[in-house]
Amino acid sequence: MALRRRRNRSPAPPPSCPLLACTSLIGGAWAPNVIWYLSGGPRRFTELKADIPPITPRVLSKRLRELEKAGVIDRRVLPTSPPSVDYELTALGRELLPAIQAIVDVGTRLTATGASPMASQKR
């Protein structure tokens, strides 16, 4: 049997860029956790640090700056003494939640099949 040549066309190119924009955001370590905890209302740096004990301040700071630059969260300095800083999901940020939920849904099926070497508490 000879190797027949394929003539069928592939679908149009995927909209790769928006996907990259989103995955590079929520793909960073702890980013989904940060978003998740902010979904409960405004939260301060130290509070987030306490919410997610294993995260280092360096990484938390980096994540927050990334998310802020993407317009997903707001950083507000409050006129307290000493000044405190609130982080809060923007309207755009709240739109991320359904997407995250969709990912979680599939992720659940992925792990349910036992096909992936998950269950390790790494990361």
Partner DNA sequence: TCCTCCGGTATCCGATCGGATACCGCAAAG
Partner DNA sequence: CTTTGCGGTATCCGATCGGATACCGGAGGA
The phi and psi torsions of 24 (rounded to 5 degrees) equal -70, -20
Q: Is 61 helix (H, G, I), strand (E, B) or coil?
A: helix
Residue 30 binds DNA (CB under 7 A)? yes
Q: Phi first, then psi: give them for residue 97, nearest 5 degrees.
A: -60, -45
Asked if residue 62 binds DNA (CB under 7 A), the reply is yes
| Alpha-carbon gap, residue 78 to 5, rounded angstroms | 66
> Quick check: 59 binds its own copies (CB under 8 A)?
no
55 touches, from its own copies, DNA, none (C-beta below 5 to 8 Å by class)? DNA
CB atoms within 10 A of CB 35: 21
Pick one of DNA, its own copies, none as the site partner of residue 67 (Cβ within 5 to 8 A by kind).
none
Phi, psi dihedrals of residue 67, rounded to the nearest 5°: -65, -35
Which residues make up the interface to its own copies (CB under 8 A)?
A: 1-4, 6, 8-11, 13-23, 25-27, 32-33, 36-37, 39-41, 43-44, 47, 51, 69-72, 79-82, 84, 92, 95-96, 98-100, 102-111, 113, 115-119, 123
